[in-house]
């Protein structure tokens, strides 16, 4: 009587078929997951842009300030940073996170500020707001300057003062810092910094043109590095960067496009050689 058990050859053939199917399907599933991450990240950026636009409508067309009451060292007791200021229009801070970023320390979202008041949405999530993935083009749109009393203040521009809204970056995928292993750590960063500082025409300083009269608040903690560093853009989607522009549209950009029009070098040593292609605003 013939046995109903599989022979060794049949088992090996079945295992080979399963392995072949897995080799074919796993990349498909991984690709679908990455596509879902990109779609979700794009949706999050779109919601954040809408929230920022609603903020502008309430504040006479001015872009959101970087920090409401800057202090050294930073403190959630009095200070508010821009993700907190748009949070009432967004309702959930997770809308500023990229799903492809698995480095977030989610426990920080349970932290509140010492001066939290019931019903005061702006007073929530100071720590978590520092680690959102929607980094803000602060140098050009709301630079931090010192006033006559030596205090740091953010001086936002109006949207009407942006010459080419469709070609001016407002928000971009960000990383807090990049470790020695070349991988991002600590989630995102609420600020991003421009890749270049100078133009070739009369050696103009683009920071000064943007209204920054003292860049120490940026250089102290944020340094541009084309490979990604604290405060820098980061390609969470296989090197692609989600970016939001001043006219409201969202685009997934290759890293090379983000530094278009300038010679990106560490610590802003690069020059802007084509202002019409420079996405950070120099027109």
Please determine, for residue 86, whether its predicted confidence score (pLDDT) is greater than 70: yes
Assign 170 a pLDDT band (cuts: 50, 70, 90).
Answer: very high
Contact call for residues 167 and 233 (beta carbons, < 8 A): no
Cβ pair 261, 194 in contact under 8 A: no
Query: Which residues does 160 contact at the CB level (< 8 Å), separation at least 6?
Result: 61
Would residue 245 count as lying in a domain?
yes
- pLDDT-derived band of residue 169, with 50, 70 and 90 as boundaries? very high
More confident residue, 147 or 98: 98
Q: What is the pLDDT of residue 275?
A: 85
Q: Tell me: pLDDT of 62 over 90.
A: yes
Residue 100 lies in a domain: yes
Quick count: other Cβ atoms within 10 Å of Cβ 265? 16
Does residue 192 fall inside a structural domain? yes
Provide the CB-side half-sphere exposure for 220 (13 A, CA). 8
Structural domain includes residue 185: yes
**Which of 52-56, 94-98, 126-130 bottoms out in mean pLDDT, i.e. has the lowest?**
126-130
Judge whether 229 lies within some domain: yes
SS3 176: coil
In a domain, residue 261? The reply is: yes
Domain hosting residue 140, numbered range? 9-272
Task: Answer whether residue 210 is part of any domain.
Answer: yes
Does a structural domain hold residue 93? yes
For residue 63, give the DSSP letter: P
Q: What is the pLDDT of residue 176?
A: 83
Amino acid 71: pLDDT: 62
Please answer whether residues 250 and 240 qualify as being in contact, where contact means their C-beta atoms are separated by less than 8 angstroms.
no
Q: Give the chain's domain count.
A: 1
pLDDT at 125 over 60: yes
């Amino acid at each position: 009587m013939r046995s109903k058990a599989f022979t060794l050859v049949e088992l090996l053939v079945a295992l080979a078929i399963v392995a072949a199917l897995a080799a074919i399907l796993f990349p498909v599933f991984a690709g679908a997951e990455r596509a879902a991450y990109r779609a979700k990240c794009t949706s999050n950026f779109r919601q954040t842009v809408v929230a920022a636009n609603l903020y502008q409508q309430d504040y006479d067309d001015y872009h959101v300030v970087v920090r409401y009451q800057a202090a050294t060292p930073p403190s959630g007791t009095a200070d508010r940073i821009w993700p907190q200021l748009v949070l009432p229009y967004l309702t959930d801070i997770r809308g500023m996170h990229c799903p492809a970023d698995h480095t977030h320390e989610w426990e920080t979202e349970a932290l509140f500020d010492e001066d939290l008041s019931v019903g005061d949405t702006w007073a929530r999530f100071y720590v978590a707001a520092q680690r959102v993935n929607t980094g803000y083009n602060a140098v050009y749109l709301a630079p931090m300057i010192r006033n006559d009393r030596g205090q740091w203040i953010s001086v936002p521009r109006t949207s009407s003062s942006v010459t080419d809204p469709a070609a001016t970056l407002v928000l971009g995928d960000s990383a807090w810092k990049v470790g020695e292993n070349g991988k991002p750590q600590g989630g995102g960063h609420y600020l991003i910094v421009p890749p270049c500082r100078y133009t070739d025409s009369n050696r103009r300083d683009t920071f000064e043109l943007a209204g920054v009269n003292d860049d120490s608040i940026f250089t102290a903690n944020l340094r541009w590095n084309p490979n990604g560093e604290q405060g820098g853009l980061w390609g969470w989607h296989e090197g692609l960067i989600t970016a939001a522009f001043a006219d409201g549209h969202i685009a997934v950009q290759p890293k090379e496009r983000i530094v278009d029009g300038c010679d990106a070098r560490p610590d802003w040593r690069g020059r802007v050689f084509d202002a019409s292609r420079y996405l950070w605003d120099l027109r």
